[in-house]
Amino acid sequence: MTVPAGRVPGPGARGGEPASGAAGSGAAGSGGGPRPREAGQTAGARAVARALTGVLPAEAILTDPARLRTYDCDGLSHLRVTPGLVVLPETTAQVRAAVLACAEAGVPFVARGAGTGLSGGALPVADGVVIALTRMRRILRVDPADKVAVVQPGVVNTEISAAARPYGLYFAPDPSSQTVCTIGGNVAENSGGAHCLKHGFTVNHVLAATVVLPTGEVVELGSQAPDPVGYDLLGVFVGAEGTLGIATEITVRLTRAPLAVETLLAGFPGVEPAAATVSAIVAAGVVPAAAELMDALAVEAAEAAVGCGYPPGAGAVLLVELDGPRAEVAGALAEVEELCRRHGAFDLRRARDESERAALWRGRKSAFAAVGRISPDYYVQDGVVPRTVLPEALLRIGALAERAGLRVANVFHAGDGNLHPLVLFDAAVPGAAEAAERLAGRILGVCLDLGGSITGEHGVGVEKMAYLAHQFSRDDLDVMQFLRCAFDPAALANPGKLFPTPRLCGEPPGPRRGAHPLQDAGLAELY
Amino acid sequence: MPLTDAVRRDLHALPDVAVVPGDPPTVLPTTVQALAAVLGHAGDFTVAVVGARTSVAPGEPWTAADVVIDTGRLDALLSYDPGELVVRAQAGMPLARLQRTLAEHRQRLALDPEHDRGTLGGVVATGAYGPLRLRHGTVRDQLLGVTAVLADGRVARAGGNVVKNVAGYDLGKLYTGSLGTLGVLAELAFRVAPLPPAHRWLAVPCGLPAAVDLARTVDEAALEPAAAQWYGPGEGGGELWLLFEGTPAAVEDILGQARALAAPFATGAPRSHAAHTRPVPPATADTSARLRLAAPLSRLADLVRHTVARCARLPEAVWTEAAVGVGVATLSLPVSLPAGPSSGWEEALKEVRDLAAPYGGSVVVDTGPGAARLPADPWGSPPDAVALMRAVKDRFDPRHRLNRHRFLEGL
């Protein structure tokens, strides 16, 4: 699991006392002022609990403060908010009951899978409801003839591939947390992974979903058959970060396992020739299944953590994976090896079997956690630049790091320009955490400057809300809000995430009385 | 409502907009700002959006609107860096022209719909695809970013110009296949793919059910064909065309394996060739309408068989093109089909749609350009989420002025 060590709040940290200003959107109050209407909001969560008593089993309704606190963060662990209530439904009907109870009481809810997300997308709303889907983990059907599987949202990503393997099939999206993260979370975040350069993202592999809308209605989006009639609502639901509803049953496409897989690892004197190699590979017409790059600092960390035995003295390590029919892969491998050598690669290694392949990947897969060996704390960033400007992006990140007096280890999906700079800091040093966060933010500025994106796969969540307005204009964001308002007119599904200025939709639906809690808290304006 | 003279005068006066008089008049903006100015005009007129008019999409014809917006002069290439495998262009650029530019750098948009004369905007709005869908997906899978002009003239972007990006809602998915009912596409960014150095087709004579089985066998052998299309009359005698792409040596190697796998399924000798063309309906099968069928892989042959039997009195006059590895098929119906109100179309379509519904399949009627319409609902029963779709339309285009009634359920 790749969670940032980050700053761990003190034992007294609770919801409503956000660990940093960035958490303000999820909390009931902002700026440290007095918390408004605490009793009323607690009453909201209590009302939902009451409404669900007898509908959900008693053990599926958590109200004990100690147990609630275990749901107070996701992988962005320096932001913590204790929810007012946690429910653990096991069926679509139970999810629907929970959402309906929230809708009737006007209480916001946050859906949660394994909580491995790195952008705070599953951060609870103070005194709101967390709907945890971890008990919905049945694989309902694997159909090799139609190449689909139907699964519940709490199924772990790799479990789908395990169930499909006997038929020579697998589920292609492979986020690095895939052994623990759930398909429901993958759908919410449109997860990618190391192999999405060739095989695409979650959205390219989800065919249909049963969705509980924020109004409590249950609809089918998409279809097991291609080209369902009507608007492609599933296409925008995937990646909407839980703001459009909760998927309770998901039909995924299964991919034929390739006949041949070749994994190649090469040491380079520096990052630039390694990045240039990736561009040359792509220019030669080869689309690798994966092209991963680590700089010297990241390699040093991985070496310290897992002893991966990467080429000693390398200024950068490039890992390339090719898959497909044997003849195709053999030709491409020769070409890639030649391009690596031509760009100054030394110590080329090719995996001869599965265990060697795993060994080559071990350093890369452990990289995030490994930086814990060389730094007390770190901040994982996720940004995208056009592939051809990777060297320039790294130079600029290096210069920013130097100016901030901080070290940055770089691990990235070089094939698609997706950077994961790891900003190293020591939280014990006063101001270091803030400096790291500032640096991480400036790195996003570099990504946007170079024509890229503020997030390639971790999502906006609460972490990057403020930066979304740098990537998109007010009009762009307003039009996105049209969609949210069509799905969730009362703004109850994961409010305070994704959009920098949460706004209401101008339609007071349902039995809610008085002002919306977000409006009261000064976090929303009427739209 | 007829267009007022005042509105006509205003449209004529807009900068960067050519107006072709007529009823309805056609306006051709040459910049995104000009397109925004047309839609931002306060006049209460409905708008039809057209590209190259090559599609045979269902719904209300474009002539029913007060004003036609033709995107044909919004056709600039905006940016193309071959090293990025990303291209940006305005929506009125014909697909063929973009492909020529990309081919100069040995790249392509891996999208091969029937008409490459169509515009990029039209390709996105209709969700077009061709045989390459098996390997590369539809335009949905290749659209990275979009700039659309909304019904009120607002210009809004979504997505981006890099292949990996999850910032904000991916509205490109929503616009794809929406037939221009949510916004007018102005600028589009696509991921592009290297042009494979070699490609070979293997045409295997066989019926449709055998073609489905053969495609599955080839898939299980992980030969990764780029396309698997069955062409033929009805669902009987025809050919499965398998496309293999890659380096010359690899393609020859894989073709040999595919040939061996095909033997038990073939009713004649398989042929291989490198032609870029693919079979087209015989000239006699000039069509009045097309039925687009979609089903899970294992149900496609059955749905085609029933549809041919039920909807065509002369099955041999139907031309079928079936993407057997994808689960979609197009049936081209001859002009001679009876089309009167008592021709039984509604009943026939209802029957095959009822057959397809339990497994999520669909049968959609596309109308041939200029031809008489079939007296039947093009879409069938509304999807489960129709109320939500209506809510989306109401938010994006509150007055329903864009391509009114073009989409299902009058959207």
DSSP character for A174?
Answer: B
The pLDDT-based confidence of A19 (bands split at 50, 70, 90) is very low
Mean pLDDT over residues A186-214, rounded? 96
Residues 6+ apart with CB under 8 A from B44: B1, B399
- Chain B: nearest CA to A164, how far in angstroms? 13
Can you give the C-alpha Rg of chain B in angstroms? 22
Q: Which tens digit of pLDDT belongs to each residue from B57-113?
A: 666 667 789 999 999 999 999 999 998 999 999 999 999 999 999 999 999 999 999
Q: How confident is the model at residue B29 (pLDDT cuts 50, 70, 90)?
A: very high
Residue A8 binned pLDDT confidence (cut-offs 50, 70, 90): very low
User: What percent of chain B lies above the pLDDT cut of 90?
Assistant: 74
Q: Which helix (H) or strand (E) holds B187?
A: strand B184-191
- pLDDT score recorded for residue B240: 96
CB pairs under 8 A between A and B: 271
Residue A178 C-alpha, separation from nearest chain B C-alpha, in angstroms: 18
Task: Tell me which residue in B141, B193, B362 faces A225 most closely, judged by beta carbons.
Answer: B362
pLDDT at A503: 62
Would you state the structure tokens that stand for residue B58, as one six-digit string?
Answer: 């269902």
Q: Tokens 């990777």 map to which residue?
A: A390
Cα–chain-centroid distance for residue B95?
12
**Phi first, then psi: what are they for B218, rounded to 5°?**
-65, -40
For the stretch A211-228, pLDDT in tens is: 999 999 999 999 999 999
Are B346 and B319 in contact by the 8 Å Cβ rule? The answer is no
What's residue B3's pLDDT? 85
Interval B115-132 mean pLDDT: 93
Can you give the pLDDT at residue B64?
82
The residue among A463 and B343 whose pLDDT is bigger is A463
pLDDT of residue A41: 45
What pLDDT, on a 0 to 100 scale, did the predictor assign at position A43?
86
Indicate the average pLDDT of chain A. Answer: 88
Cβ contacts of A219 on chain B, cutoff 8 Å: 384-385, 388
Q: For B22-68, where are the alpha helices, taking DSSP H only?
A: 32-40
User: Is B83 in contact with A455 (Cβ distance < 8 A)?
Assistant: no
Mean pLDDT of A113-120: 95
**pLDDT value of position B366:** 81
The angle, 0 to 180 degrees and rounded to 10, between the axes of the packed helices B208-220 and B300-311 is 160
What's the gap between Cα A364 and its chain centre? 18
Q: What is the pLDDT of residue B287?
A: 62
Query: Which of the two residues, B92 and A522, has the higher pLDDT score?
Result: B92
Closest-CA distance of chain B to residue A66, Å: 34
CA B94 to chain CA centroid, Å, is: 14
| Mean pLDDT computed over B216-231 | 96
Nearest chain A residue (CA) to B219: A256
Q: Report the pLDDT averaged over residues A11-34.
A: 32
Beta-strand runs (E) in B31-113: 47-50, 67-70, 77-81, 86-90, 107-108
Query: Average pLDDT for residues B211-239, to the nearest whole number?
Result: 93
Report chain A residues whose CB lies below 8 A from the CB of B140: 232, 235
B216, pLDDT greater than 80: yes
Q: Are B359 and B277 in contact (CB under 8 A)?
A: no
What are the pLDDT digits (tens) for B249-287?
A: 999 999 999 999 999 999 999 999 887 677 766 654 456
Q: Where residue A187 falls among pLDDT bands split at 50, 70, 90?
A: very high
Model pLDDT, residue A500: 85
CB A294 within 8 Å of CB A363:
yes
Residue A424's pLDDT band (boundaries 50, 70, 90)? very high
The answer on pLDDT for B208 being more than 80 is: yes
Answer yes or no: do A192 and B164 touch at CB < 8 A: yes
Separation CA B48–CA A397 (nearest Å): 48
With CB atoms and an 8 Å threshold, state whether A204 touches B383: no
Find the mean pLDDT for residues A426-453. Answer: 95
Residue A304: C-alpha distances to residues A13, A365, A373, B149, B213 (Å): 33, 14, 7, 53, 52
Answer yes or no: do B174 and A235 touch at CB < 8 A: yes
Chain A positions touching B392 (Cβ under 8 A) are: 231, 233, 482-483, 486
Alpha-carbon distance values, A84 to A220, A524, B313 (Å): 30, 21, 65
Over 60: is that where the pLDDT of A523 sits? no
Closest approach of A192 to chain B, Cα-based (Å): 8
The answer on pLDDT for B313 being more than 90 is: no
What does the pLDDT look like over A489-499, one tens digit per residue? 999 999 999 99
- Tell me: pLDDT of A40 over 60: no
Closest chain A residue to the Cα of B155, Cα to Cα: A475
Tokens of A523: 């976090």
Interface test mutation site (partner A, options B135, B149, B163, max chain A beta carbons within 10 A): B163
B309 CB burial (10 A radius; 0-12, 13-18, 19+): middle
Please give the average per-residue pLDDT across A177-188, as a whole number.
Answer: 96
A232 and B176 within 8 Å at the Cβ level: the answer is yes
What does the pLDDT average to over B281-295? 73
B229-267: b or e for each residue (b if 16 or more CB lie within 10 Å)? bbbbbbbeebbbbbbbbbbeebbebbbebbbebbeebbe
pLDDT at position B310 is 85
Question: Can you say how many angstroms the Cα of residue A285 is from the centroid of all Cα atoms in its chain?
Answer: 30
Q: What is the pLDDT of residue B315?
A: 64
Rounded to a whole number of angstroms, the distance between the first and last alpha carbons of chain B is 18
Per-residue pLDDT, A79:
92
Contact call for A239 and B169, based on CB within 8 A: yes
Cβ separation A483–B161 shorter than 8 A: no
Q: In what order do the strands lie in the sheet with A85-87?
A: A61-62, A85-87, A129-132, A109-112
Can you name the residues that pair with A377 across neighbouring β-strands?
A425
Residue B340: pLDDT band (50, 70, 90) is low
Q: How far is CA A392 from the centre of its chain?
A: 26
**pLDDT category, B376, cuts 50, 70, 90?**
confident
How much of chain A exceeds pLDDT 90, in percent?
81
* Contact between chains at B167 and A485 (C-beta distance less than 8 A): no
**Which stretches of A52-164 are assigned E, i.e. beta strand?**
61-62, 85-87, 109-112, 129-132, 139-143, 148-151
* Of A410-419, B191-200, B333-342, minimum mean pLDDT range: B333-342
Burial label for B106, CB within 10 Å (0-12, 13-18, 19+), is middle
Specify the amino acid at residue B170.
D
Sequence-separated (6 or more) residues with CB below 8 Å from residue A8: A77, A78
- Tens-digit pLDDT profile for residues A506-521: 643 333 334 444 444 4
pLDDT at residue A3, rounded to an integer:
37
Q: What is the dihedral of CA A115, A106, A21, A72, to 10 degrees?
A: -30
Instruction: pLDDT band for A502, please (50, 70, 90 cuts).
Output: low
Distance CA B36, CA B46 (A): 15
Cis ω for the linkage preceding B24 (within 30 of 0): yes
- Tens-place pLDDT, residues A270-288: 999 999 999 999 989 999 9
Averaged pLDDT, B228-236: 87
**B193·A287 Cβ contact <8 A:** yes
Nearest-neighbour CA in chain A from B157: distance (Å): 5
CA–CA dist A192, A488 (Å, integer) = 26
Q: Which residue has the tokens 């392949």?
A: A357
If one compares A13 and A259, the residue with the highest pLDDT of the two is A259
Q: How far is CA A139 from CA A60, A164, B49, in A?
A: 21, 10, 44
**Which residues of A fall within a CB distance of 8 Å from B131?**
none
**How much is the pLDDT for B278?**
73
In 3-state terms chain B splits into helix, strand, coil percentages (rounded to 5) of 35, 25, 40
- C-alpha B270/C-alpha A284 separation (Å) is 32
Region of poorest pLDDT, from A170-179, B172-181, B337-346: B337-346
Q: Which residue is closest to A244 within chain B, CA to CA?
A: B169
Residues from chain B contacting residue A142 (CB–CB below 8 Å): none
**Cβ separation of A230 and B249 shorter than 8 Å?**
no
| Residues from chain B contacting residue A217 (CB–CB below 8 Å) | 387
**CA-to-CA dists, residue A101 to A17, A104, A136, A156, angstroms:** 27, 5, 19, 28
